[in-house]
Structure 1
Amino acid sequence: MNYLMVFVFGGLGGISRYSLSLMLQGNVFPFSTLIVNLLGCFLLVIVNEYLSLKWKLPKAIIVGIGTGFIGAFTTFSAFSMEFMQLYKAGEVALALTYIGASLIGSMIVINLAYWLVHHALNKKGGNV
């Protein structure tokens, strides 16, 4: 069942990433990949913390959403390739900004998501 969920949700995640990248096409800076990866970090915490703790969803659904949807939605390979393209084009400052925004941004959104989830669970009487 896990494989089926990863397959179904993975297709939805890939389509979502492609659609978002079409809407956010930029000139030089790869905003679409940055936004997709930061959003994926945020969503993964929501899935693993809130959905699994509060809604007690079946493991197959959690795996499908986390590994399937979010795994297909986010992209480390595009991030790496875009960094190298910026670097090879002589845009070293922009390339380093991209790495910094990706790494620091991911830590910020992950902490924000953890705070929101645990705040919501504690406020509603849930124990974490």
Structure 2
Amino acid sequence: MLAGPVVATAAIVLATASTLANDRHALNGLFCNTKAQVEMVFKEAGRGIPFQGVVEMVNQDKVVCVHATKVRYVVRNIGSVSTMVSRGSQLNIYEATLTGLIVGGNSRPIEPPLQIFFVPTERLPSAVLLRGA
């Protein structure tokens, strides 16, 4: 008898999580082309090298990472891909589709959208984590 309400509740939860995962979020944080680049930045920063210095070191040959503090990256289809510890804090590394930037209140689309890996400054809704599960 409980199967119907349980299934219905599960369907609502999954539908809500799916909707949140596909919502667009405008975020600040560290954004890189690969997960390995994100991990490298936090690993080196954990050794006491200034964060911006590590980002510049990773970008020595070409820009592959951005520490976005003023520009907001607009992403969708967010999923958690892994966690790591840096300076005693656990960080979630996410993968998403980059669809635009917000610069000085102006929206700028990214065409074609790009896959990107990031650690946001803001906390994301927990439902977004389902994609990487």
- Whether the TM-score (by the shorter chain) exceeds 0.5 is no
Higher helix residue share? 1
Name which structure has the greater RCO, CA cutoff 8 Å, separation 6+: 1
User: What TM-score, normalized by structure 1, do the two folds share?
Assistant: 0.24
Higher strand residue share? 2
